[in-house]
Amino acid sequence: MPKKNICQTVSALFFPLSFTAFMFFCIPGMERVDSAYKAVFICALYAVMTACVPIYFTVRKKLCDPVAVFFIGSAVTIAMCIRLALMDHVSTDYAVYLDIWTDAMREQKGLGGLALNVSDYNMPYLYFLEAIAKLVPEHLAMYITKTVSVAFEFVLAYFIMQLVGLVKNDLRTKYLVFCGVLLVPTFILDGAYWCQCDMIYGAFAAGFVNYALSGRPNLSALFFGLAISFKLQAIFAAPMILVFLFVKKLKIKHLLWIPAVYLALLVPAVIAGKPIIEALTVYLHQAAEYPVLLINAPSIYQFVHDVDYNSFKTAGIILSGCAAAVFLFFLFKNRETLGTGSLLFAAFVFALGLPLLLPCMHERYFFLVDVFCIVIPFINRKLWYIPLCCFYVSFRSYSDFLLMSDNINFKFLTLINIGVLIIAVYTLWYMLSPKPAKTV
């Protein structure tokens, strides 16, 4: 039998194999599901998602290595088993916010739930919640809400794989990266355990950078519009718009996609009865929601106590703006030597540096750090420890709230972040510095 047919057969087998694994390992833990049929439905849904991955690589990517197909399918099955095992956990954020929002939407007729002023999320994510409220039985609502985030983990894994492929175009390496992304602890916790949606804007932000570097500027700007439409934290990737303008990866005309996408995604809510001013000012309300310098964030404000909030907030914003401006000037000055690797380094520096310096940050605002750090060792092998440091800091930061871990030294975590940032900036400076000619 030809290898192509073997690979297709192996891919197809992962639906029954993963379904059996999910039924055996995960159904006993689904205590919130009120019937066996619904539990079987969840397992079948995840089996379909799992099987789609090896099928995609076999059919679209022309992967003809049965061992590689089996490895990918097995890795995804393990990753999905872990997520299903965490699905029954009711996080505080879900119980206090998402569950209440979904219940309120469920009580409205038609699309009336979109007109309610019950949520501080922007409208695109509320479209998912409205669909869940109207189409999904109440006992399955949390599972499907988490599944939306889990589905976008595949999208995120794909774009990180593509980013790695820009600097190391080796198929086996790309497949390993795809599988590895699905096993990153903070990615697993964010969606399947916490029921957060950072995966969505993270996937679109990674797509924004990928398409800019791949010579597809319209798609790049469109993806940034999608990212910022789902979460304001996509702003940490926004300086890369200017950088891509410096190196002519984007033009001013391409940026029109950003407001076009953002406004277009508000239209269904406005039609459903949402006041247009309310729809446009969601992020303004978010910005004023938590009047504290930080919430479980490994930022420089861990070293500041008993100070005037307003004064330090203003000073922190000015400090962050000045630091970003200086770094942008450095990149502009070296724009002729900026290559793919250095541009990815720049994206990582912005993703880490801005939430490190800005006030009012949460632990999840460092999400893009975990996204872009994965690419760093493939640009410079000596920096293999950068992702490990970033994942450690993120996991420990999450643990304080999610896992109620004691004795978390946030100052130590902040020092790790500062150290990583210094190393990244120095490495980028060295990459862009003119090298002396060798003498014979």
Confidence of residue 144 (pLDDT cuts 50, 70, 90): very high
Does residue 159 belong to any structural domain of this protein? yes
Q: What is the pLDDT of residue 387?
A: 97
Residue 425 CA to residue 353 CA, distance in Å, equals: 10
198 near 237, Cβ under 8 Å?
A: no
**Counted domains in the chain:** 3
Residue 147 CA to residue 234 CA, distance in Å, equals: 21
Query: Domain range spanning residue 341?
Result: 290-432
Among the candidates 58, 88, 118, a domain finishes at: 88
Among the candidates 274, 309, 329, a domain finishes at: 274
Do 322 and 415 fall into the same domain? Answer: yes
Do 54 and 104 fall into the same domain? Answer: no
pLDDT of 439 above 60:
no
Do 147 and 159 fall into the same domain? Answer: yes
Do 225 and 101 fall into the same domain? Answer: yes
For 275-294, the pLDDT digits (tens) are 999 999 999 887 777 778 88
Q: What is the mean pLDDT of the chain?
A: 90
Does residue 284 belong to any structural domain of this protein? no
State how far Cα 151 lies from the chain centre: 12
Does residue 318 belong to any structural domain of this protein? yes
Q: What is the pLDDT of residue 38?
A: 79
Does residue 280 belong to any structural domain of this protein? no
Cβ atoms within 10 A of the Cβ of 322, count? 11
Do 329 and 359 fall into the same domain? Answer: yes
For 155-168, the pLDDT digits (tens) are 999 999 999 999 99
Do 73 and 127 fall into the same domain? Answer: no
Do 108 and 235 fall into the same domain? Answer: yes
pLDDT of 36 above 80:
no
Closest CA relative to residue 125, chosen from 194, 198, 190, 182? 198
Do 18 and 29 fall into the same domain? Answer: yes
Q: What is the pLDDT of residue 102?
A: 94
Does residue 285 belong to any structural domain of this protein? no
Does residue 352 belong to any structural domain of this protein? yes
Do 295 and 220 fall into the same domain? Answer: no
Cβ atoms within 10 A of the Cβ of 12, count? 14
pLDDT of 312 above 90:
no
Q: What is the pLDDT of residue 436?
A: 66
Does residue 283 belong to any structural domain of this protein? no
Do 26 and 109 fall into the same domain? Answer: no
Question: Tokens 């700007």 identify what position?
Answer: 221
Do 111 and 260 fall into the same domain? Answer: yes
Residue 392 CA to residue 386 CA, distance in Å, equals: 10
Do 23 and 128 fall into the same domain? Answer: no
Does residue 225 belong to any structural domain of this protein? yes
For 251-280, the pLDDT digits (tens) are 999 999 999 999 999 999 999 999 999 999
Among the candidates 57, 88, 119, a domain finishes at: 88
